[in-house]
Structure 1
């Protein structure tokens, strides 16, 4: 298992002792997925939080008419799950799929709960991760209510340049809540 990426991710917020690292790594389950693999399907119990070692993932909601709305992307060095359903061990509301071949580290809910007991500093780590996710989503809601689609698109490009390079324009439009045609018009105006 390539351990450096996940250990560097953890080290951004907490320091692990030499004896804590092997235990943490032992509870991660590594799996390689081809492009277009479903990591989580709506309706299934969400059992894992997932760390992206390599690749790109997309979490999306599908309404009763089959329209997909992208909720989030995850690239290398990011965590992704259906958080509410993971924490409460309920059926997932979201679908999570790979957009390219991806190497994922899965952390099971029961292993995370044990991790909090055995290495309590992980509660701090995941609290920070969840706080950052909450802040990001709150800002996104406010931007959706107060900014034009063009402004939101430019913020997306500035904030997530690596994501913008790895996903389709249709997926970006879905994330922004606009049609791909409208995004094409925004992009055409930018290039004038």
Structure 2
């Protein structure tokens, strides 16, 4: 784990002091996840958030019929994990899984909250992280309610270039809330245009 990684991650949200970098580093441990490895499973009491350095993670829920419904993809620089479950101190209702090999930093959520109570700069940082999560969730909801499947697919391709070569068609279709067959048709039309 390098101070540079931590500094540049913090700098995306706030101007960090050397003390802030040092304090934040004390919460983190470098972690590697293999493809398909879970970071958090439904029903677990999570303790850690995750900062993605490389690779792609997803969050998903299991529907009543056992189908996995992908809610979000997380890429370089994103913070992920069952944060709402940690905030409420309840078991996670969502699964968090690496869908490629993932490297990053696992951080102790409750120690971060302790730092927000002791240091103003960590309070501001935490607010920025929450704002970022809110804006991403709002964008997903807006896209689902206003864009066609093809438009959502193109937006996903723009956000994660080369996604078709990185993760399965089934995961992409799940995120778009369409069948793999529908996705295949969209991709064919997109390539042909």
1:40 corresponds to which residue? 40
Report whether the alignment pairs 1:111 with 2:140.
Answer: no
Equivalences for residues 25-104 of structure 1 within 5 A: 25-104=25-104
1:165 Cα deviation after fit: 4.9
1:39 Cα deviation after fit: 0.7
Whole-angstrom distance in 2 between the partners of 1:113 and 1:47: 12
Segments of 4+ in structure 1 off by > 6 A?
Answer: none
1:99 Cα deviation after fit: 1.7
Task: Rate the CA distance shift 1:106–1:176 in 2: closer, same or farther, 3 A.
Answer: same
1:132 Cα deviation after fit: 2.2
Report whether the alignment pairs 1:178 with 2:175.
Answer: no
Task: Rate the CA distance shift 1:147–1:18 in 2: closer, same or farther, 3 A.
Answer: closer
Q: Which runs of 5+ in 1 are unaligned?
A: none
Q: Which runs of 5+ in 2 are unaligned?
A: none
Whole-angstrom distance in 2 between the partners of 1:16 and 1:136: 23
Equivalences for residues 129-148 of structure 1 within 5 A: 129-148=129-148
**Normalized against structure 2, the TM-score is what?**
0.90
Q: How many matched pairs?
A: 192
RMSD: 1.8
Which secondary structure state, in structure 1, belongs to the residue aligned with residue 187 of structure 2? Answer: helix
For the Cα contact (< 8 Å) 2:100–2:167, is it kept in 1? no
Which secondary structure state, in structure 2, belongs to the residue aligned with residue 21 of structure 1? Answer: helix
1:35 Cα deviation after fit: 2.0
1:166 corresponds to which residue? 166
Equivalences for residues 10-29 of structure 1 within 5 A: 10-29=10-29
Whole-angstrom distance in 2 between the partners of 1:69 and 1:63: 7
Cα shift readout 1:64-114 (whole Å, capped 9, x = no counterpart)? 211011111112221101232121121101111112222231222221111
1:180 Cα deviation after fit: 0.9
Task: Rate the CA distance shift 1:56–1:119 in 2: closer, same or farther, 3 A.
Answer: same
